[in-house]
């Protein structure tokens, strides 16, 4: 008993965020955190990650001996007891006059890689285990947290059921990307069948398994009972993409709704994105304004014609205040064909009806033409997944599906979704044409056999959403520990 009580005393600390927002002069308090800077042997800027704003701790001359003063270095962790006093310094209303300073953990100034100066994002990626301690990553990851919380809040308020779809899957029908194999078979000498192929019957699950690329197919099973569900979990794609918007492991939010058509789907996705942005604007104002300034400084380094038109906060406000543009794929292609960029041969990839639009095309539409998020519907069936609903009355050879992608300025595709094909015969025909084994997918087809209903859903790439809200240009900077080709540190 005695021991646990003492431990509880140890944690009678005030968070720096709470102290800065409501600290009253005269109050005795304990804070703990890491030293950002130490000036004149007297002023410690202390940070505990609750906010980017440091608490100024003042140690009066004579309070600490020389040996202790030497140990107050950038990165060291401290427990400080003191009295809250009004601050004369700029940018803060209070500070802490220390009565006692305890060093919890030393940080060798010679070896600590984070110095109180601006480091490049590339350098910080190499020390991702320490980068949370910088202002930029503090702001990004508090916002990431808020976004995740807001995702659950949004769907909970709407009565959606949060369904945890599996991470290991035996189905590779989704076709969303290359998969990572999951196996316990020995590499050097796997069991083989008579024809020489590997015998997965001997594998852990008795069949070939992979990490999931999406929770959608299982999500549809849930929607056929709860009407409205969402998944929010990690997904894995083994594509060799080294871009600023691809990860091999990323998080995706996938709502799936019975009794929704493509229109309902678009409305929900738009409302959802605007809700998430509003939530962060309301709850992370300090972090957003820090990132807004950061981005403004970054933009200043660029040549005029490459600069973005809007600042971060302006952009976010604009997106919440204005509805998204809605166009068909056919219209999008026509806009591209009519564009000065196309006429001046500025696009690297060709434009014609039937192409899978490249990032340069998507960015032209949102950044140059519409200057706002755009929802594109009615994509050619040939370039989309088997489960998307075939549009009726298409010209032969020009079949389209009820797909909808949302394209965002600076990001490109942020949402991919569709109304699903609920008609069994049409779905089977499509699967056969795409060589998807009906047998293996019989559990999925059962939803169309027993009480099928019109339904729809979409997937929001969580990291791309965090990029959009924080203005970070590289997706590796919005996930704690990025997994990309040839990169799996930490």
Interacting residues toward Mg ion by CB under 5 A: 416
Neighbouring C-alpha atoms within 13 Å toward the C-beta of 240: 1
Sheet with 161-162, edge to edge strand ranges: 161-162, 228-236, 249-258, 455-461, 412-419, 400-408, 374-380, 325-328
Residue selected from 376, 459, 467, 482 as contacting ligand 4AD according to rule CB under 6 A: 459
Compose the 202-231 pattern: x for residues touching ligand 4AD by CB under 6 A, - for all others. ------------x-x---------------
Shortest distance in whole angstroms from residue 229 CB to ligand 4AD: 11
Can residue 44 be called a binding residue for ligand 4AD (CB under 6 A)? Answer: no
Can residue 246 be called a binding residue for ligand 4AD (CB under 6 A)? Answer: yes
The item of Mg ion, ligand 4AD, none sharing an interface with residue 414, based on CB under 5 to 8 Å by kind, is ligand 4AD
The item of ligand 4AD, Mg ion, none sharing an interface with residue 457, based on CB under 5 to 8 Å by kind, is ligand 4AD
Can residue 254 be called a binding residue for ligand 4AD (CB under 6 A)? Answer: yes
How far CA 456 is from CA of 49, 119, 163, 352, 453, in Å, comes to 40, 45, 16, 28, 10
Residue selected from 80, 143, 147, 176 as contacting ligand 4AD according to rule CB under 6 A: 176
Can residue 417 be called a binding residue for ligand 4AD (CB under 6 A)? Answer: yes
* CA triple 146-149-155, angle to 5 deg: 135
The item of ligand 4AD, Mg ion, none sharing an interface with residue 458, based on CB under 5 to 8 Å by kind, is ligand 4AD
The item of Mg ion, ligand 4AD, none sharing an interface with residue 94, based on CB under 5 to 8 Å by kind, is none
Shortest distance in whole angstroms from residue 155 CB to ligand 4AD: 14
Count of helices and strands (H, E) across the chain? 15, 16
Q: Residue 260 in 3-state DSSP? A: coil
Shortest distance in whole angstroms from residue 413 CB to Mg ion: 6
Shortest distance in whole angstroms from residue 478 CB to ligand 4AD: 10
Residue selected from 98, 179, 247, 268 as contacting ligand 4AD according to rule CB under 6 A: 247
Ranges assigned E (strand) in 183-248: 209-211, 228-236
Long-range Cβ contacts of 310-316 (<8 Å, 24+ apart): 312/288, 312/470, 312/471, 313/281, 313/288, 313/289, 315/409, 315/471, 316/277, 316/280, 316/281, 316/288, 316/469
Q: Taken in order 55, 61, 63, 69, is the CA torsion positive or negative?
A: positive
What is d(CA 402, CA 422) in angstroms, rounded to the nearest whole number?
Answer: 12
Can residue 457 be called a binding residue for ligand 4AD (CB under 6 A)? Answer: yes
The two most distant CA atoms of the chain are separated, in Å, by 87
The item of ligand 4AD, Mg ion, none sharing an interface with residue 417, based on CB under 5 to 8 Å by kind, is ligand 4AD
Q: Given the rule CB under 6 A, which residues bind ligand 4AD?
A: 176, 214, 216, 237, 246-247, 250, 252, 254, 413-417, 457-459, 461, 463-464
């Amino acid at each position: 008993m005695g021991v646990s009580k003492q431990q509880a005393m140890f944690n009678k600390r005030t968070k720096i965020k709470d102290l800065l927002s409501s600290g009253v002069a005269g109050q005795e308090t304990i804070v703990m955190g890491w030293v950002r800077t130490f000036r004149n042997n007297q002023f410690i800027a202390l940070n505990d990650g609750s906010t980017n704003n440091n608490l100024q701790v003042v140690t009066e001359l004579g309070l600490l001996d020389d040996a202790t003063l030497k140990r107050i270095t950038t990165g060291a962790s401290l427990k400080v007891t003191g009295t809250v006093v009004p601050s004369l310094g700029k940018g803060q209303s209070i500070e802490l006059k220390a009565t006692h300073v305890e060093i919890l953990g030393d940080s060798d100034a010679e070896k600590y890689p984070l110095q109180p100066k601006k480091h490049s994002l590339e350098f910080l990626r190499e020390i991702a285990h320490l980068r949370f301690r910088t202002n930029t990553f503090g702001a990004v990851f508090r916002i990431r947290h808020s976004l995740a919380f807001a995702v659950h809040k949004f769907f909970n308020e709407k009565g959606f059921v949060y369904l945890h779809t599996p991470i290991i899957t035996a189905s590779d029908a989704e076709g969303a990307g290359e998969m990572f194999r999951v196996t316990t078979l020995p590499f050097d000498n796997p069991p083989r069948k008579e024809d020489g192929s590997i015998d997965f019957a001997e594998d852990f699950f008795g069949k070939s398994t992979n990490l999931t690329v999406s929770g959608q197919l299982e999500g549809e099973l849930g929607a056929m009972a709860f009407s409205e569900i969402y998944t929010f979990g990690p997904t894995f794609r083994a594509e060799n993409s080294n871009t600023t918007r691809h990860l091999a492991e990323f998080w995706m939010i996938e709502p799936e709704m019975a009794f929704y058509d493509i229109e309902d789907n678009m409305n929900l996705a738009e409302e959802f994105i605007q809700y998430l942005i509003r939530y962060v604007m309301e709850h992370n104002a300090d972090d957003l304004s820090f990132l807004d300034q950061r981005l403004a400084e970054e933009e200043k380094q660029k040549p005029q014609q490459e600069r973005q038109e809007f600042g971060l906060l302006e952009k976010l406000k604009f997106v919440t205040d204005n509805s998204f543009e809605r166009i068909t794929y056919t219209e999008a292609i026509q806009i591209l064909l009519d564009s000065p960029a196309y006429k001046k041969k500025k696009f690297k990839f060709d434009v014609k009806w039937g192409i899978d639009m490249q990032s340069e095309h998507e960015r032209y539409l949102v950044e140059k033409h519409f200057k706002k998020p755009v929802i594109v519907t009615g994509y050619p069936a040939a370039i989309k997944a088997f489960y998307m609903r075939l549009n009726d009355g298409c010209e032969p050879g020009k079949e389209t599906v009820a797909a909808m992608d949302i394209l965002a300025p600076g990001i490109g595709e942020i949402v991919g979704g569709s109304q699903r094909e609920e008609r069994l015969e049409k779905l089977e025909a499509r699967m056969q044409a795409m060589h998807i084994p009906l047998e293996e997918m019989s559990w999925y087809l059962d939803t169309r056999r027993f009480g099928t209903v019109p339904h729809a859903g979409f997937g929001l790439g969580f990291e791309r959403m965090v990029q959009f809200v924080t203005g970070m240009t590289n997706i590796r900077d919005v996930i704690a520990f990025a997994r990309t080709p040839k990169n799996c540190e930490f």
